[in-house]
Each structure stands twice: as C-alpha cells, then as structure tokens.
Copies of this chain bind each other. A is one copy, B any other.
Amino acid sequence: MKYFRSLAQTPPKGWNSWDCYGASVTEEEVKQNAIYMKDNLNDAGYEYVVVDIQWYEPTANSSMYHAYADLEMDEFSRLIPAANRFPSAANGAGFKPLGDFIHSLGLKFGIHYMRGIPRQAVHNNTSILGSDHTARDIAKPNSICPWNTDMYGVDTSKPGAKDYYRSLIDLFGSWGVDFLKVDDIADSKLYGGHLDEITMLREAIDESRYDIVLSLSPGPASLEHGAFLQKNANMWRLTDDYWDNWHQLYDMFDRCQKWAPFVRKGNWPDCDMLPMGHIGIRSVDGGGSNRTSRFTLAEQRTMMTLWSLFKSPLFFGGEMTDMDSATLNLLKNKTLIEMHRNGENPEQVMRQNDIVIWKSKAKDKTWIAVFNLNDSDKKVQYSLNKLNETTYKKAKDIFNKEYLEAEDIHFAIQKHDVKLIELSN
C-alpha cells in the first residue's frame, strides 16, 4: 500500500460523465470519451475516466433521479452496473471489462458511489460479505441523503459496518477502479459532513491492497473540516454542483481564497468539473439543456486560469468527441499545465472592487493572474513590486503572447476576462 497522499502528488485530471449525461451515461459513451482522451489529451496529463452516479439504475435517463427506483444489486448488498446500460457488466462481470478497456488505453478508471448501503438491501435485509450481520444491522436509522433515495447511511459503530465498506473497496479494486468519488458525504445538507463514514472509507482503502484516489462530494465542505479532510481524502468539493453560470464562477473566487491554505501535495480542494464544450446532453441541472457551454471564451479562460493556478483537480465535463479547437487549446495550454503542475502556495494577493489578483510560484518563475470580474471592461494599474518579495526581468502576457513591462501592470481587461502574466529572469 502506498501512503494515500502519494497517489495524487499533482491534482488529478480527466473526464467525468455528469455534465453531459447526468445519471444515465452508457458504456459506449464512456468508451468513446476514453478513446478521445487517449488520442488528444493524455499527453497534456489528462488520465482519469470517471463514470458518475447511478450506473446501477437501469431506468436512469437524465440527471433527475427516479425516487425509490429498483436498483441492480448483488447478494451482498452492493450495487452493480446495470447491464442494460453497461453490456460488458452482464453475468456478474461488473466493471472489470470496462476497467480493463480503459487501462488498455493507458488511462485510469474512476467511479462514483453513494455513501451508505442501499435502502432496498435494508428493507429486504440482505447479507454483508464477510459478516454474519445484515443490512438492517448496520444501517443508521434515518441517515439519508436529502436529494437521492438510493441509500441509508451506515452506522460505523455497528459490527458489520467495516466489513461492508471493506467489501465495497475489494469489489471496486477487483474491477480495477483507480479513483473513487464518494457522494453525500463531504457535506450532507441535512447533517453536515459525515466524518465517521469518511474515516471508515479511509481505513478501508488503506487496509486494502488497492491504490485508489479518494474524492469527496458534494460541497461546500466546511473549513472547520479542512484539516480533517487533508488527513482523509485526496480531494473534496468547495461548492454544490457547479454549472456554466457566471455567478457561480464569480462566487468561486471567494471560495478559492478561503481554501488556498489547504492546498498541499496529495490534498486538492476541488472546484468541480469544467462545464465546457458540449454539455447537458441528458443532464438537465443548473438550468440547462443540451447545449454548448454558456460561458464565453473570456469566462472559460478565467475559469481555466483560476482552476489551474489554485491547483484544483481538472475534470472536463463536456462530451469530448464533440470538442471544438478553442476548447481543446485551452485544455492543452502549456503555461496553464505547467502552473497547475508546478505552482506552489497559490494565494489571492489583492481584491478591490472586482479586480482580483492571484499569485503562484514555481522554482524560477512567478505567475500573476489579474481577473476582471466586473460586468464592464476595466483598466488596471498596479505595481508588481507590491506583490513580490523578489524582482524579475521578464513579464510575459500568456494569452496574448507578448512581453510587458516587468514592473507595473498597466493594461485593459475586458469584462470577465483574465491577464495571466509569467514573471521570470
């Protein structure tokens, strides 16, 4: 077993099915995106292919859950892929064939799971692998998710509880799962964060023979739990689901400012997926429908710059096979990739009215991002010396590919856009 933080020494990057397909993605769709990633984005460091929520729900057809739907489940109270949506999972194969396929491309495989044990297991009182206890014994009465009816929470003080979580990790490990996104757990809306179940998940993974990156949802996680989360997870969400609305992007700046002290190797506060490109194909949340991202190109630059500088995980949310070149270029921008990988101590250094300046440092350079969050174009004048302990000779405007005066920021920024400056000698 590796020490859990060593599994994510840089922030994970990849693709997630939610923004396109809600709860309803199919095997074919997952595969076509994996192939696209292999061919176009793996060089840029994107490697995780993640199947989001309810792959065990045969009738799922959008992001709207069917309350109390009958789920695919094995004899040990564990949900398994719906074979009508994932044909290779038939006959008890589970996600092993899909995992193998993704690994064959040199990529990594991720899945989503809900905290707890299926309600249908509890009402039918089914078995737990490796325990004489049953689903009713370990379910925590009335520990529910407020937005989904699949599960009851698990009472970690009960005998059998740890066996259940161990049996889940063993199953996922046997499928080749490299990345596990657990939901209804970082913030539960009804009960706060479920720290007990997070701790038990951490132990179940640590004690297994599998290397699995642990991602916790949804947010907003509480700053009060920040140090706890650093001890137990590789990434956790700062917000509830994030969509392509300017007000949510605007709001993310404040959250990143507060969470920046928690960014360290192996611990990545998570700004959520990037709703870029072709999204909403069957996902109807966030006021959207089948569409190209409602973000302007300036807003996408702003988002990619903030996520990269802050070192958030980067999971593309669009259907990748429909990607346009502007989007692809942004995902592959060399400076963003370098800053995302090598930057240290990201920090908001100034916020006045709607001009926000962030800074990140690597060994021999410093990046300064000047954001205009206002709804009008703005002129900005600012002394770079105020922002730095050291001085630099060169200042390059990354998106415009031109060199600036190295001492003073003095330029115009259009509304919702960003100037990213790389300082070096």
Chain A residues with CB under 8 Å of chain B are: 3, 5-6, 65, 67-68, 119-120, 122-123, 125, 136, 139, 141-142, 144-149, 190, 223-224, 226-228, 230-231, 257-262, 264, 345, 347-349, 389
Q: Which of A141, A144, A230, A262 has the most CB of B within 10 A?
A: A141
What's the nearest-Cβ distance from chain B to residue A55, in Å?
20
Residue of B nearest to A155 (CB): B67
Q: Given the known inter-chain contacts A123-B119, A123-B123, A258-B224, please indicate yes or no for A389 contacting B142, CB distance below 8 A.
A: no
**Does A141 lie within 8 Å of B67, measured CB to CB?**
yes
Minimum Cβ distance to chain B for residue A93 (Å): 28
Q: Is the pair A389, B3 in contact by a Cβ cutoff of 8 Å?
A: yes
A136–B65 alpha-carbon span in the complex (Å): 13
Judge whether B142 and A144 touch: CB under 8 Å. Answer: yes
Q: Decide yes or no: A122 and B227 within 8 Å by CB, A3-B389, A141-B149, A262-B261 being known contacts.
A: no
Does the CB pair B136–A142 fall under 8 Å?
no
Q: How far is the CA of A149 from the CA of B139 in the complex (A)?
A: 11
Partner pick for A145 among B142, B146, B227, B260, CB 8 A cutoff: B142
- CB pair A224–B223 under 8 Å, yes or no, is yes
Q: Does A349 contact B231, Cβ atoms closer than 8 Å?
A: yes
Q: List 23 A-B contacts (CB under 8 A).
A: A5-B389, A6-B389, A67-B136, A68-B122, A68-B123, A68-B136, A68-B139, A68-B141, A120-B123, A142-B145, A142-B146, A142-B148, A144-B144, A223-B223, A223-B224, A227-B257, A227-B259, A227-B261, A227-B347, A228-B257, A230-B261, A231-B347, A264-B345
Report chain B residues within 8 Å CB of A224. 223, 258
Cβ contact within 8 Å between B260 and A227: yes
Residues of B within 8 A of A148 (CB): 141-142
Q: Are A227 and B142 neighbours in the complex by a CB distance under 8 Å?
A: no
A389 cross-chain contacts in B, Cβ below 8 A: 3, 5-6
Q: Enumerate the 5 nearest inter-chain pairs by beta-carbon distance, A residue then B residue, closest first.
A: A223-B223, A67-B141, A3-B389, A123-B123, A261-B262
Q: How far is the CA of A255 from the CA of B126 in the complex (A)?
A: 42
A149 touching B144, Cβ below 8 Å: no
For A348, the chain B residues whose CB sits under 8 A away are: 227, 231
Q: In the complex, which residue of chain B has the Cβ closest to the Cβ of A390?
A: B3
User: Which chain B residues border A120 with CB–CB below 8 Å?
Assistant: 123
Q: Note all chain B residues with C-beta closer than 8 A to A231.
A: 347-349
Residues of chain B within 8 A of A67, CB atoms compared:
136, 139, 141
Q: Which residue of B lies closest to A119 (CB)?
A: B123
Q: Pick the most buried of A123, A125, A145, A230: most chain B CB atoms within 10 A of its CB.
A: A123
Measured between C-beta atoms, what is the minimum distance from A390 to chain B in Å?
A: 9
| A392 shortest CB reach to chain B, Å | 15
Can you name the residue of chain B whose Cβ is closest to the Cβ of A228?
B257
A136: chain B residues within 8 A (beta carbon): 67-68
CB distance from A196 to the nearest CB of B (A): 13
- Considering the chains assembled together, what is the distance between the CA atoms of A76 and B101 in angstroms? 49
Chain B residue numbers with a CB within 8 Å of A190 are 190
CB-based nearest B residue for A6: B389
Could you tell me the distance between the alpha carbons of A123 and B135 in the complex, rounded to whole angstroms? 16
> In the bound complex, how far is the Cα of B191 from the Cα of A146, in angstroms?
11
**Complex CA distance for A230 and B359, rounded to whole angstroms:** 14
Q: Are B123 and A258 in contact (CB under 8 A)?
A: no
* A349 cross-chain contacts in B, Cβ below 8 A: 231
User: How distant is the Cα of A227 from the Cα of B227 in the complex, in angstroms?
Assistant: 14
Additional A-B contacts beyond A68-B122, A227-B259, A230-B347 (11; CB < 8 A): A3-B389, A67-B139, A68-B123, A119-B123, A142-B144, A142-B145, A142-B147, A142-B148, A190-B190, A226-B258, A261-B262
Q: How far is the CA of A103 from the CA of B211 in the complex (A)?
A: 57
